[in-house]
Amino acid sequence: MGLRERKDGSALTAGEGETWSSTRGEGAETQQLARPGQPVLTTGDGMPIRDNQNSLRTGPRGFTVLDDQVYLDKITHFDRERIPERVVHARGAGAHGYFELSHSLAPYTTAKVLTEVGVRVPVFARFSTVAGAAGSADTVRDVRGFAVKFYTSEGNWDLVGNSVPVFFIQDAMKFPDLVHALKPEPDRGYPTASSAHDTFWDFVSLMPETMHMLLWVMSDRALPRSFAMMEGFGVHTFRLIDARGRSTFVKYHWRPVAGTQTLLWDEAVRIAGADPDYHRRDLRELIESGLYPTWDLAVQLFTDADAETFPFDILDATKLVPEEIVPLQVIGRMVLDANPSNHFAEVEQVAFCPSRIVPGMDLGNDPLLQGRALSYTDSQLHRLGGANFRQLPVNRPRCPVHHFQRDGRFQADVPAGRVAYEPNSLGPGSARASEERGQRSHATSSHDGARGREREASFADHYSQARMFYRSLVEAEHRHIIDAFVFELSHVETVAIRERMVGHLRQIDDRLARAVSGDLGLPHLPAAADAIVGPYELEPSPSLSLHRTAVPTVRSRSVAILFSEGSDARTLIAVRAALELQGTRVKLVAPKIGGAVLSDGTRCVADGHLDGMPSVLFDAVVLLLTEEEARVLAAQAKARAFVQDAFAHLKAIAYAPGGDVLLDASGVERDAFVIPVARLDEFIQRAGGRRQERALTTRRTA
């Protein structure tokens, strides 16, 4: 038993753990057999497998037989490995971590996750693009999903939001239309993961309520440098419920401790080609290197009476509550410190729903939120095969679960006992509802009115907050929004749609409209769109500007050191150590992947080479070259492009004396962000700032 022939004809037993030929003759396939103590390969039913290379045949040249259980087990599972991808948010990345409360909200809620200071609650966070399919690129212009599942002692709480605080539409009734307009046009199947086409702009230009969100999507917010440098928002206005049943409105904000940083449009386009998995890779490498992505959780709290005084409706998801009206209160911190073990099992199968809350919380009457509460669960029932998706490990609560739900597809639990209903008298120890511990809903006031298909008049102001957002930004941010509108609308073939969109922009800011109209080459400035309400002049909110709220830091950012033959070893070691001390990820780039011999005679192996690691992948670059090697590289287009792109993309550049040659050959002038490596502290400080600032303080443009 277990005998096979070696290629030399001698016997071999499986226990020897050697490779044996699966058929006779030269060129035969080989396979590895289990060594003593090594797990034995099995079928899904646990049957040990003797040969995993060949199907069962009637002879070496005969037919494959239908009773080959090893092949059938393997191929039928393979044929069913794919489940429907999410309609939106299909491309995602995720990580495990914890949330720790630092400030109790006990005056407002009974939820333990928001009242037990110092208790670490496990979390799983998923970040995603919205429009693209699972195979699209990470760095497209898009909103990002920002969803967090808290595994609390009272059940799972899902805080399902986005990277911007508002949304396109006010009522979930319009969500299918929005997504159909945004997705590839059905007659041609493109463009992928892009809003720069007619059907999207046709739809939004006919829906004035989308204007505020459009300004955010055309801003730098839609091009994050990293998930770890991206803000998150709950979008909707939720409720907290205290022990006496009293309600307080709450809005949730995630603020990255690493600060916010974004890409330039040209960088985003180039990165999509050089590394379409840029954000996924960045998140995984941050965690692997111990630079755990961290966010502060902040809340805005206000009462029903406060909400009545606001010049907008807090149930309107196209509006935000400015921090100048209701300041943020930081209440805790989320740290992501573990990567998924399996992308499909965790990132793809995790199921979020905004109505998944715990006692001490409640939803609001927001019509978009109400619709999402139904739609998300319906999607999970479809994608994950049935009602038992909550039993998947990534979705399973970490607290005791007692219910009378039974059977269904993929039932993994084995409920005991004869009762599967309530009330009952046959199971006196079975679960019962609890007035004290159960989730309490807010008792809405009677003025909410009778049921009917109508929209509150206060929802009709579509331009005031869009104007406030635009006028809260600095000039460089204005330029990027203008460029984004011009790029998107230039891909719209129907001239009337372009003109209609510029008409909406005139209600937001006339200079914005004129700039977009001029850059599009429209023959005349279109008339302003009709406004049902407003727009009203709201005070600018500086907190909405990424430039104004920037936190200067190089922590979590990535810096490339370009070196070559003869580069000074002591300088390279010193620069790398100084950067890593600040929490910076350093990559060594050389003309060849094998690296180069440094000045002290040691060979330094590179992390990448010029062809495979262009400067577009980094936040700043250091040129450590001898004059001789710099002359060699100056003759190479790829080396000049490495420097030219870094300069054009507003990145800080440090250089050793030999780097002058490459800088001159690349046409790079010495501005405040091109710094000799001897002034390393200054370089680190410059590299940690926001690059939009450089467009204001230098002659560079972006």
Fill in the DSSP letter of residue 528: P
pLDDT per residue over 61-70, tens digit each?
888 898 898 8
Query: pLDDT value at position 415?
Result: 85
Judge whether 121 lies within some domain: yes
Judge whether 110 lies within some domain: yes
- Written as six digits, the tokens of 569 are 């070893």
Q: How many other β-carbons are positioned within 10 Å of the β-carbon of residue 600?
A: 11
Distance, CA of 571 to CA of 624 (rounded, Å): 8
Query: pLDDT value at position 701?
Result: 57
Q: How many other β-carbons are positioned within 10 Å of the β-carbon of residue 32?
A: 12
**Is there a contact between 145 and 162 (Cβ–Cβ < 8 Å)?**
yes
Fill in the DSSP letter of residue 620: E
Q: How many other β-carbons are positioned within 10 Å of the β-carbon of residue 139?
A: 27
Rg of the chain over Cα atoms, rounded to whole angstroms, equals 29
Any bridge partners for residue 21, and if so which? 30
Fill in the DSSP letter of residue 206: T
pLDDT per residue over 87-103, tens digit each?
999 999 999 999 999 99
Judge whether 272 lies within some domain: yes
Which residues are CB-neighbours of 253 under 8 A, at least 6 positions away? Answer: 165, 231, 232, 233, 234, 297, 298, 299, 300, 328
Distance, CA of 497 to CA of 517 (rounded, Å): 12
Distance, CA of 569 to CA of 603 (rounded, Å): 10
Distance, CA of 346 to CA of 351 (rounded, Å): 9
From residue 346, give the alpha-carbon distance in Å to each of 3, 451, 523.
Answer: 41, 40, 53
Kindly state the helix (H) or strand (E) to which residue 508 belongs, with its residue range.
Answer: helix 495-508
Distance, CA of 80 to CA of 15 (rounded, Å): 34
pTM of the shown model: 0.89
Please give the tally of structural domains in the chain. Answer: 2
- Written as six digits, the tokens of 382 are 């479809």
Judged on CB neighbours under 10 Å (0-12, 13-18, 19+), 662 is buried
Judge whether 270 lies within some domain: yes
Query: pLDDT value at position 19?
Result: 41
CA-closest candidate to residue 688, choices 617, 622, 619: 619
Judge whether 407 lies within some domain: no
- Read off the CATH number of the domain in which 680 is found: 3.40.50.880
- Written as six digits, the tokens of 155 are 């059940």
DSSP 384-427: TSSGGGGGSTTTS-SS---------TT------SS--SSS-SS-
Judged on CB neighbours under 10 Å (0-12, 13-18, 19+), 87 is middle
Distance, CA of 508 to CA of 528 (rounded, Å): 9
- Written as six digits, the tokens of 221 are 């917010």
424 is catalytic: no
Which residues are CB-neighbours of 220 under 8 A, at least 6 positions away? Answer: 262, 477, 480, 546, 692
Q: Give the mean pLDDT of 61-80.
A: 89
From first CA to last CA, the distance across the chain in angstroms is: 72
- Read off the CATH number of the domain in which 138 is found: 2.40.180.10
Whether omega before 423 lies within 30 degrees of 0, making that bond cis, reads: yes
- Written as six digits, the tokens of 543 are 């907190």
**Percent of the chain clearing pLDDT 70 (strictly above):** 93
pLDDT per residue over 309-356, tens digit each?
999 999 999 999 999 999 999 999 999 999 999 999 999 999 999 999
**Is there a contact between 240 and 303 (Cβ–Cβ < 8 Å)?**
no
Domain that holds residue 324: 92-190+222-391
pLDDT per residue over 610-646, tens digit each?
989 999 999 999 999 999 999 999 999 999 999 999 9
Kindly state the helix (H) or strand (E) to which residue 12 belongs, with its residue range.
Answer: strand 11-13
Judge whether 401 lies within some domain: no
103 is catalytic: no
**Of 357, 391, 425, at which residue does a domain stop?**
391
**Is there a contact between 562 and 625 (Cβ–Cβ < 8 Å)?**
yes
- How would residue 499 be classed by pLDDT, with cut points 50, 70 and 90? very high
Catalytic residue, from 52, 54, 77, 89: name it. Answer: 89
**Is there a contact between 230 and 127 (Cβ–Cβ < 8 Å)?**
yes
Distance, CA of 222 to CA of 166 (rounded, Å): 13
**Of 361, 391, 421, at which residue does a domain stop?**
391
Question: Hey, which bits of 514-665 come out as E strands?
Answer: 558-563, 585-590, 596-597, 603-604, 608-609, 620-624, 652-655
pLDDT per residue over 182-224, tens digit each?
999 999 999 999 999 999 999 999 999 999 999 999 999 999 9
pLDDT per residue over 118-134, tens digit each?
999 999 999 999 999 99
Q: How many other β-carbons are positioned within 10 Å of the β-carbon of residue 347?
A: 19
Judge whether 602 lies within some domain: yes
CA-closest candidate to residue 169, choices 128, 212, 198, 200: 212
Query: pLDDT value at position 364?
Result: 85
Catalytic residue, from 52, 54, 77, 162: name it. Answer: 162
- How would residue 155 be classed by pLDDT, with cut points 50, 70 and 90? very high
Judge whether 86 lies within some domain: no
**Of 359, 391, 423, at which residue does a domain stop?**
391
